[in-house]
A and B are shown apart, each in its own frame.
Chain A
């Protein structure tokens, strides 16, 4: 299969951006994480449904686990800053493993369409059984003032029935 030559700089830049964004989450610097997002961010985690191979969709066009914008993501972060975010008291230990980064030109000038795999390891309390979330991400990353910001995250979990008694972390 003929493939166009990847823009190495774009892939390197996008990879570096995703790693830094993941680091902010794993180090629980949630305010810093918000700074990685554009003001018009759309953050969507749709539901995956087990369907036959011939079905017209497998990722639900209507059902979503997250359906956020900057305002609601800020609300989630504000909540984590209170003393009453019980789901994260004590906090989950997370590690985002970001791989297979592919960057292509986006729809708009200065934007990249970035595909990546993300495996999140989540450990809570004294439990010896971590939650593992394997995720396909299709992000839109925008160049703003020489740096990159996340303008759209579309993250699809590989499980249709998800483990972990809740999803109190960011993907």
Chain B
């Protein structure tokens, strides 16, 4: 993919941002800046593995959803043999959009401009007036939809625009251990509860990605109402307990909040907890059984949160999982996609309960989500000001913390949960991409 030339001053600036991260500093302006946004589109989103869809969104042959990588609209479709393809949603003849809806089912896509027809795998099969008009000058094999490379992990379909990107497994680099907590809830795994919420926010995707990579620090303040009214299963005093785990050199990170005395796998239906004890590795069981909150980000822009919530103050409540994608649409502007994942094997009753807990807390009208977005919108606004261009933020929390030798999971794992080490890892990886090291 062609890269726009970037001035020497900008390159030096990006290098200095990279150096700053190692010392625990990161500039405010990256959270709302046109130049950074443009470079990110080319250097991060054109090279990384980006999340496209959950397999359960397209369970049957012909099912498709339309999604984005950077500003490229893609069709993610299951073909007639059950294989998943991602193709640029653009007719090869004159560029019209093929699928205009968010989701549907079709064996073929027919362009509404001149009528070129493609199979849902992207193969060109029909060209009107082929004989009379083209006189054999078009070989259909040369003019299929532009394909995007895809790979899946435990139901997650990722795509990359970079043909030379390493395999997805290598890209995830061990973070799968932690992702299983969200994706392997029971023998049959997880499924989406329905189509995602999406809404446009005045926030930069990076603020959300950072927060979800394990910001336990904001919870007692930003979500103070939950503590005050007793709807949250920890207190300000115990909230910092737990681990921050990150995969060095990969950018992925997760915060694992832990409440002393919280029963193992609390909030899961009993039979599901039993299944997880058998289907997960002993190391995963050791970590997950004592995890209250798990909030993690897969670099660059896919996040998860698992949390118990009770509408009766003081009770354990029910576990829910939200998965979200931060699709950058401009500097300081993001289209949020938010799904609720439920364990496929759970009872309908539990799925409904978990979904209701999700809507009340982390859907776009959710009581926790509302406050996060209010804060993030203000951060974004501040970051775009002229004075903020020369201001750096401190990323020094837990700078000297060393790996917890007793922790059974992979990566750099430190205590307490309240720690900037995941964020330094995230922005260090981002800087690698931005400076062309990846």
State in angstroms the CA–CA spacing of A63 and B376 once bound together.
25
Residue of A nearest to B369 (CB): A166
B374/A63 in contact, CB under 8 A: no
Q: Which of A53-110 contact B (CB under 8 A)?
A: 55, 60-68, 71-72, 75-76, 78-79, 82, 84-89
User: What is the CB-to-nearest-CB distance from B362 to chain A, in angstroms, rounded to a whole number?
Assistant: 11
Distance A59 CA – B155 CA, assembled complex (angstroms)? 25
Chain A minimum-CB-distance residue to B231: A75
Cross-interface CB contact of A55 among B101, B197, B223, cutoff 8 Å: B101
> How far in angstroms is the closest Cβ of chain B from A90?
11
Q: Is the CB of A51 within 8 A of B365?
A: no
B200 interface residue (CB < 8 Å to A): yes
How far is A84 from B222 in the complex, measured between Cα atoms in Å?
A: 8
Which of A4-12, A25-33, A42-50 participates in binding chain B?
A42-50
Whether B199 lies near A63 (C-beta < 8 A) is no
A62 CA to B339 CA, complexed, in Å: 11
1/0 per position for B339-369, CB-CB distance to A under 8 A? Answer: 0000000000000000110011001110101
Residue of B101, B104, B203, B370 with highest tally of chain A CB at under 10 A: B370
Whether A82 pairs with B369 at a CB distance below 8 angstroms is no
**What is the bound-complex CA distance between A164 and B369, given in angstroms?**
13
Whether B198 sits at the interface, judged by CB under 8 Å, is yes
Count of residues in B whose CB is under 8 Å from the partner chain: 41
Contact across chains for A84 and B377 when beta carbons are under 8 A apart: no
In the complex, whether B119 has a CB less than 8 A from a CB of chain A is no
**Can you name the residue of chain B whose Cβ is closest to the Cβ of A66?**
B365
Residues of A within 8 A of B193 (CB): 62-63
A167 in the interface (beta carbon within 8 A): yes
Nearest CB on A from B75, distance (A): 13
B228 at the interface (CB under 8 A from A): yes
B187 interface residue per 8 A CB criterion? no
Across the two chains, which residue of chain A brings its CB closest to B228?
A82
Is the pair A84, B359 in contact by a Cβ cutoff of 8 Å? Answer: no
Count of inter-chain pairs, beta carbons less than 8 A: 122
Across the interface, A87 reaches (CB within 8 A) one of B196, B311, B374, namely B374
Cα distance A22–B376 when bound, in Å? 29
Residues of A contacting B359 in the complex (Cβ-Cβ under 8 angstroms): 64-68
| A164/B199 in contact, CB under 8 A | yes
B-binding segment of A134-142, A146-154, A155-163:
A155-163
Known contacts A49-B102, A52-B101, A67-B359; A168 and B199 CB within 8 A of each other: no
The answer to whether B201 has its CB under 8 Å from any CB of chain A is yes
Cα separation A4 to B41 with both chains bound (whole Å): 58
Query: CA–CA, A47 to B359, complex, Å?
Result: 11
Size of the chain A interface, CB-CB below 8 angstroms: 38
Asked whether B225 lies within 8 Å of A79 as measured between CB atoms, the reply is yes
Given A65-B365, A67-B356, A166-B369, A51 and B102 contact (CB-CB distance below 8 Å)? yes
Within 8 A of A (CB), among B373-393: 373-377
Give a binary string over B276-312; 1 marks a CB under 8 Å from any A CB, 0 the rest: 0000000000000000000000000000000000010
Interchain CB contact (< 8 A) of B371 among A50, A62, A67, A86: A86
Whether the pair A167, B200 counts as a contact (CB closer than 8 A) is no
Cβ contact within 8 Å between B363 and A55: no
Contact A167 B370 (CB under 8 A): yes
Q: What chain B residues lie within 8 Å of A165 (beta carbons)?
A: 199-203, 373-374, 376-377
Pick the most buried of B102, B225, B365: most chain A CB atoms within 10 A of its CB: B365
Closest to A75 in B: B311
Chain B residues with Cβ below 8 Å from A52 are 100-101, 104
The answer for the CA separation of A168 and B360 in the assembled complex, in Å, is: 11
Specify the chain A residue showing the minimal Cβ separation from B193: A62
Q: Does B335 contact A (CB under 8 A)?
A: yes
Beta-carbon contact of A72 and B374 below 8 Å: no
Which residues of the partner chain A approach B194 to less than 8 Å between Cβ atoms? 47, 60-63
Contacting pair B373 A63 (CB below 8 A) = no
Give chain A nearest CB distance to B335 CB in angstroms: 7
| CB of B224 within 8 Å of the partner chain | yes
Output the nearest chain B residue to A160 by Cβ-Cβ distance. B102
Report the minimal beta-carbon distance from B83 to chain A, rounded to whole angstroms.
Answer: 23
| Interface flag for B229 (CB, 8 Å) | yes
Known: A51-B104, A79-B225, A161-B200. A65 touches B373 (CB 8 A): no
Contact of A166 among B231, B355, B370 (CB under 8 A): B370
Query: Contact residues of B with A, CB < 8 Å?
Result: 100-104, 193-203, 222-225, 228-229, 231, 311, 335, 355-356, 359-360, 363-365, 367, 369-371, 373-377
15 A-B contact pairs sorted by A residue (CB < 8 Å): A50-B101, A51-B103, A52-B100, A60-B195, A61-B194, A66-B359, A71-B311, A75-B360, A75-B367, A82-B229, A84-B224, A160-B102, A161-B200, A161-B335, A163-B199
Additional 8 contacts, C-beta under 8 A, given A84-B228, A162-B198, A164-B199 = A52-B100, A55-B104, A63-B196, A65-B365, A87-B371, A89-B374, A161-B198, A165-B373
- Please give me the 4 A-B residue pairs with the lowest Cβ-Cβ distance, nearest first: A62-B194, A63-B194, A87-B370, A167-B365
